[in-house]
Amino acid sequence: MIRSKHIEFTGDIQVQTMQRQSGIFIGERNSAIGWSTHGKENRVIGSISGQSNLLLNNMLILNDPDIVDTPIDDRDINLHVEQPNDHHTTNLTLESVNVNTMTHSNTISIGKGHINGIDANDKINYSIGNLFGHENQIKHNVNFVYDQDVMDGNINDQDIKITNIEHNEPM
What value does the mean pLDDT of the chain take? 76
For residues 17 and 167, the model is more confident at 17
What does the pLDDT read at residue 33? 74
Mean pLDDT of all residues in 9-19: 75
Reported as a single tens digit per residue, the pLDDT across 128-138 is 887 878 888 88
- Per domain, the residue ranges of the chain are 3-165
Nearest to 16 by CA among 132, 107, 102, 100: 100
Q: Which of 6-15, 44-53, 161-170 has the lowest mean pLDDT?
A: 161-170
To the nearest whole percent, how much of the chain has pLDDT over 90? 1
How many Cβ atoms from other residues are within 10 Å of residue 118's Cβ? Answer: 19
d(CA 122, CA 118): 13
What does the pLDDT read at residue 171? 45
Sign of the dihedral defined by the CA atoms of residues 170, 85, 24, 115, in that order = negative
Mean pLDDT of all residues in 110-129: 77
